[in-house]
Structure 1
Amino acid sequence: MKRQYLVRIDKDVDSDWGASVPDLPGCVATGKTIDVALRRIESAIELHLRGLREDGIRVPPPRQRAVRPHRTPKQVRFYATVEVAA
């Protein structure tokens, strides 16, 4: 079974790219590029889900939501989806 989680991608002027998963609080990753951040968040999601299962905690299903990109001179924020084995 596969699940698609929404991933928030952020970048401040003085930082690397950051990725987080709104449906999985605490599941985060960073990377020098967007591609690296997305690859790392995919691994982080799989690890996070495995940890939840091992702890006997129900894996939260991905929620559907409407999102809007955000950009200022000092910050970029947009969303992507990542599909992982569930």
Structure 2
Amino acid sequence: MRTYFALVRKEPGSDYGVDFTDFPGCITAGTTFEEACLMASEALQFHIEGMVEDGALIPAQTSLDVIMSDPRNTDAIAIQVSVSIHFQQVTR
């Protein structure tokens, strides 16, 4: 099992959006915070399965300190998302 950080963001008048620093393009959303967290797990699992099928290398997890030091992420809530597939990992 591997764990990555997802960032949950909420703009006024919108759903909760989720993105992954380590997986550009892997995004999802939910109408509640709880739903967004559940959707994050499904989105990451699906995204990594596709990468594995394509033979892509899976990135190492970026530390939370590095993620949150980016000024674009200061208003985001970081959550941990686990995936239960086996894959090759590349280090940074």
> Shorter-chain TM-score: which interval?
0.7 to 0.9
Count of aligned positions: 80
What do you get for the CA RMSD once the two structures are aligned? 1.5
**1:15-69 deviation line (CA, Å, top 9, x unaligned):** 0000111000000110011110111110010000000011111111212131277
Q: What residue ranges of structure 2 are gaps of 5+ in the alignment?
A: 86-92
Give 1:4's aligned amino acid: T
Q: What pairs with 1:5-44 in structure 2 (closer than 5 Å)?
A: 5-44=4-43
Structure 1: gaps spanning 5 or more residues: 72-76
Aligned-pair identity in percent equals: 28
TM-score by length of 2: 0.79
Distance of 1:63 and 1:70 partners within structure 2: 16
**Equivalent residue letter for 1:22:** T
Letter in 1 for 2:33: I
TM-score (norm 1): 0.84
